[in-house]
């Protein structure tokens, strides 16, 4: 996927130019620890978290409830939506219970008040890792 803004800025999905998925790349790099993720480590609010928490909960490809996000009011939900909303339509697979628990942990760990907060952190992580 590619988005062009004002014919000057292009945003290209990493899938187009990475040899494998972002999740696989992160898993491989994380074997050496969080030091290779300096951008993420220095981003607020992640910069206040320990390396252990970063490795276990933050530095990874996070699931996202794309199907749930139907209109602007969807962002007002004050909890993580049910697991069915995290279905991966691109791969045609359901969200695993482990990944769903990960999202709930992330929501709590980052003091998210609603899906707007979760989305903001999701986007930071998706671009920072």
* Domain ranges within the chain, ordered by starting residue: 33-128
Looking at the DSSP assignment, which residues form a beta bridge with residue 2?
12
Q: Report which of residues 13 and 24 the model is more confident about.
A: 24
Task: Give 64-112 pLDDT, tens digit per residue.
Answer: 999 999 999 999 999 999 999 999 988 899 999 999 999 999 999 999 9
User: How crowded is the C-beta side of 106, counted as CA atoms within 13 Å?
Assistant: 28
Predicted TM-score (pTM) of this structure:
0.77
Task: Give 32-76 pLDDT, tens digit per residue.
Answer: 888 888 888 888 888 998 988 888 888 888 899 999 999 999 999
Looking at the DSSP assignment, which residues form a beta bridge with residue 5?
9
Looking at residue 15, its pLDDT comes to: 54
Residue among 107, 114, 101 at smallest CA distance from 125: 107
């Amino acid at each position: 996927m590619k988005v062009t803004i004002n014919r000057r800025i292009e945003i290209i999905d990493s899938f187009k130019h990475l040899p494998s998925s972002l999740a696989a790349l992160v898993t491989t790099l994380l074997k050496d620890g969080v030091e290779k993720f300096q951008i993420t480590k220095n981003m607020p609010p992640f910069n206040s978290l320990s390396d252990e928490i970063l490795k276990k909960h933050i530095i990874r490809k996070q699931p996202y409830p794309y199907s749930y996000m139907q209109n602007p009011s969807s962002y007002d939900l004050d909890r993580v939506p049910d697991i069915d909303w995290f279905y991966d339509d691109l791969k045609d697979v359901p969200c695993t219970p482990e990944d769903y628990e990960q999202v709930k942990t992330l929501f709590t760990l980052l003091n998210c008040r609603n899906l707007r907060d979760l989305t903001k952190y999701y986007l930071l992580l998706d671009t920072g890792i």
